[in-house]
Structure 1
């Protein structure tokens, strides 16, 4: 079988397609024949040598994927039992499943929480063996690329907007970074939940693409005065802000909130803030939440909405992976932010 490996360096040029033996499932594991994968910003952090994801080389890339059950190991718990041919999504992150946090459904808070492709070997292979606890059922009618797109990015959007943000119908929310993987799914989810949603994007060329998929007020956050522009469009402060850009944008989003408003930060792609508006936080009784990935329940909720046709991720297919070149080009597009939504691929 073929796997996408980060071979002898931490950069895009060090990616290779490697031939490996098809793995055999161990006790409690299920082997999945992979059908589709989507890229995530975690991949870029791994490729750049980020200390948050310190991996040993060679390293199998990738956190997101969907496939079909190919073989079963022994002693699989009936709670997670599946049969050969079932369509499944991979849960990118998982805790110990035994502590109180995991049992209550808050596994991303577990001290043992680890992420595929980041802390652990990834899933960009034609076949993957994983504990049955990491697999989730997928309706067979669902597009593999669409299903893969919501396993991490979509689930994070759900965790941030619904679970941590507590967004309610009729509220006005701003999504910073509406053109990205998490951001565009957060906007689509917000519209589905009947929120009054606004968004920001980066380069101007992304506006036209976004406008094809969502009819919401948009402002480029590359404009120096973007907070003033979005507030003028809104006409009043926001009930909540979901910030998928993070870092330097954090000091600028808090003043956009009403008294008692909520800010949810799910990423940091622009560096750390040079200052933090503490007075804004306590003076206007704001809530600030951090979200790191999501829980199984978030993935299942997003898969359900996509299966019903209520939500359609924006996914650009970079083509069946006959060579490493298309994937290297896709990662360059990611690093240059030259895309909208998600990028994905299948196996030839």
Structure 2
């Protein structure tokens, strides 16, 4: 088979596409004929190399993908050849105290397909049964491949960790990216008033198309100043059922979704109203920002970490993707032989939504 691969960490020049040994499936594995894969910033960081990440080389990346079941291991019971499936990326040990209590994202042995182990940007992939979900007929392969990782991440951030309620206000940073464009739609679905940031006027218009009431071009304006000005004018928020119990009348939003990291951290905290919650799932611009601790304790702020989602949460959000409630935006679809270009699209923040790659044999 052909696969995307790299043998060393580095720039986009280390990314290759070519012959690779066919995968061997274990008793709990499903062999998938991959029809499409999708990229995340995780692929960029894996390619560059992260502290503590020890990969078997050559490494096949890819934490998002979808295709048709070719064969199954002897212990597999949920799928059979011909089924349409998509990868959900996260693997849990099923044995530690967190798994036994149903808190899979906190599993002490948790790891991600494509980051810690071989990924799915290849013509064939052997995938553990537990990391697959069924894809209904009628859902195109680009959508099936691009939805799971970002939508499960955004769903858990907003619906579980931040517990957003109708009538609250939510600021989503980087609304044109994968997690960002999912978070705008989910926050709007939850009944919140949504604000967003984008790096251009075009990206801001895109965020408003997805459900944001207003979007701020952070290349031109300080988004924290703009948010305080907007929310100060709005005052106490109401819903059809009356005022939200959580909404404060002071400047700022109730929830900030920050997956950017060091470059936005201070302004994210400054954008929160008293009692507000900052929820984060990543740090693409750096993981060690300076923090004004005074602001956190004086304003009674909460900082919430979030990673991926539980199987039940994945089912909840993907049901709404499959039925069209949420839209997966695809910025570009490329052959896997052009995966280096796909990495550049993410690194240069070009376009809106997800970047999809398909095996050259599928095009």
Give 1:125-164 correspondences, 5 Å limit.
125-164=122-161
Q: Is the contact made by 1:33 and 1:126 (CA closer than 8 Å) also made in structure 2?
A: yes
Please tell me whether residue 246 in structure 1 is matched to residue 268 in structure 2: no
C-alpha displacement at 1:52, in angstroms?
5.2
Please tell me whether residue 344 in structure 1 is matched to residue 356 in structure 2: yes
SS across alignment from 2:257: strand
Q: Is the contact made by 1:248 and 1:273 (CA closer than 8 Å) also made in structure 2?
A: no
The CA distance in 2 between the partners of 1:137 and 1:340, in whole Å, is: 26
C-alpha displacement at 1:9, in angstroms?
4.5
Q: Is the contact made by 1:249 and 1:273 (CA closer than 8 Å) also made in structure 2?
A: no
Count of aligned residue pairs for this structure pair: 342
> RMSD between aligned alpha carbons?
1.9
Unaligned runs of at least 5 residues, structure 1: none
The CA distance in 2 between the partners of 1:91 and 1:153, in whole Å, is: 10
Please tell me whether residue 262 in structure 1 is matched to residue 288 in structure 2: no
Please tell me whether residue 43 in structure 1 is matched to residue 43 in structure 2: yes
C-alpha displacement at 1:253, in angstroms?
1.6
Aligned to 2:293: 278
Aligned to 1:67: 67
Give 1:215-230 correspondences, 5 Å limit.
215-223=212-220, 225-230=222-227
C-alpha displacement at 1:274, in angstroms?
4.6
- Aligned pair in 2 of structure 1 residues 9, 276: CA closer, same or farther (>3 Å)? closer
The CA distance in 2 between the partners of 1:296 and 1:52, in whole Å, is: 27
Deviates more, 1:177-186 or 1:216-225: 216-225
- Aligned pair in 2 of structure 1 residues 7, 294: CA closer, same or farther (>3 Å)? same
C-alpha displacement at 1:214, in angstroms?
3.6
Q: Is the contact made by 2:5 and 2:15 (CA closer than 8 Å) also made in structure 1?
A: yes
**Aligned residue among 324, 327, 333 for 1:312:** 327
Q: Is the contact made by 2:3 and 2:123 (CA closer than 8 Å) also made in structure 1?
A: yes
- Aligned pair in 2 of structure 1 residues 215, 176: CA closer, same or farther (>3 Å)? closer
TM-score by length of 2: 0.88
C-alpha displacement at 1:92, in angstroms?
0.6
The CA distance in 2 between the partners of 1:266 and 1:56, in whole Å, is: 26
C-alpha displacement at 1:145, in angstroms?
1.6
* 1:232-271 superposed Cα distances (whole Å, 9 cap, x missing partner): 1233421111112122312222232222211101211222
SS across alignment from 2:63: coil
Give 1:80-119 correspondences, 5 Å limit.
81-119=78-116
Deviates more, 1:47-56 or 1:26-35: 47-56
SS across alignment from 2:147: helix
TM-score by length of 1: 0.92
SS across alignment from 1:60: coil
C-alpha displacement at 1:7, in angstroms?
2.8
The CA distance in 2 between the partners of 1:224 and 1:56, in whole Å, is: 44
Aligned to 1:12: 12
Unaligned runs of at least 5 residues, structure 2: 233-250
The CA distance in 2 between the partners of 1:100 and 1:170, in whole Å, is: 37
